[in-house]
Each structure stands twice: as C-alpha cells, then as structure tokens.
Amino acid sequence: MLVRAGLRAAAAPLLPPHGFQQGGPLAASTAAASAPDQPISGVWRARRGEEERRAAPAAPAAAPPVLDIFGGGMWWFWKVGAVHYLQQHYDLSRVQLHGSSSGAIVAVLAACGVDLRRAAQHTAQVLEEHRVRDR
C-alpha cells in the first residue's frame, strides 16, 4: 500500500464491497467479466457507456425558428418583398421575427399582421410626396 499525505491508496483500484454481492450494481459486470468470450475491457466500456447514458441530460426542446432581418434603410423594399413572399408561401406563425433598424420595422409589421404589400405602396407614396429621392 502507498501512503502519501495521510491518504491511503491501494496499488489496484478498489471496488465497493456491495459490487461483489449477489444482485449488487456490479454483479452483472463481474459475472460478464468472468465469461470467457467477453474481455474485461469490453465489460468496462459497456458499463461506462451505460453510466454516460444515464448521466446525460435530456435533450432540450427544439427552439422555434428565427427570422433575423438585417438593417439598412435602402434595402427596406427588398426586405418587405422577401418577408411578404415568405408569408404567402410558408406558415410563419411559429417563427420568431427579429430585426435591427429598418429590419425591425419589417419584423414588427409582419408580426402584427400588417399587409406588407400595402405598407410598401404607402411608403413609396410618402417618399415620392416628400421628394426623398431628389435629396
């Protein structure tokens, strides 16, 4: 036996005494280890895999899909058209809409159920009235 800093360590690994009792948690492993057709390393590998499966946390619930709409004022009409297309062809009821700058405006309009085609037409009309393109 080795003695270091007041701790005793055996030269061979120690197994809990209940492991060798009949019906103990290691009884199947010890019985399998004594079987001639299965090597000891295979038994320990199988036991380690079993312990890892038990210790593994449950898989988290699938997160809902996210549509992130980037910013950039000049791309506003393109973003409105893209989200309008997605609304027409896909169910976006479970999709989280995120956006920044002008993308946030598109995300809010889409989340609130605003008709994006009408919003784009109204925006184009306001920009024309105020001659934004001429500036």
The pLDDT value recorded for residue 56 is 64
The pLDDT value recorded for residue 135 is 78
> With pLDDT > 90 as the criterion, what percentage of the chain qualifies?
47
Distance CA 75, CA 28 (A): 67
Task: Please report which helix (H) or strand (E) contains residue 31, including its range.
Answer: helix 27-34
Q: Mean pLDDT score of the chain, rounded to an integer?
A: 76
Sign of CA dihedral 105, 111, 113, 116: positive
The pLDDT value recorded for residue 2 is 36
Distance CA 96, CA 93 (A): 8
| Residue in 107, 114, 101, 96 with CA at minimum distance from that of residue 73 | 101
Statement: the pTM of the whole predicted model exceeds 0.85: no
Q: What's the pLDDT tens digit per position in 83-107?
A: 999 999 999 999 999 999 999 999 9
Q: Residue 109's pLDDT band (boundaries 50, 70, 90)?
A: very high
Q: Which of residues 93 and 44 earns the better pLDDT score? A: 93
Distance CA 69, CA 82 (A): 10
Q: What's the pLDDT tens digit per position in 23-35?
A: 555 444 445 445 5
Q: Residue 133's pLDDT band (boundaries 50, 70, 90)?
A: confident
Q: Which of residues 11 and 96 earns the better pLDDT score? A: 96
Task: Please report which helix (H) or strand (E) contains residue 44, including its range.
Answer: helix 40-55
- The C-alpha angle with vertex 64 and arms to 60 and 69, in degrees rounded to 5, equals 135
Any idea how long the chain is?
A: 135
The pLDDT value recorded for residue 4 is 39
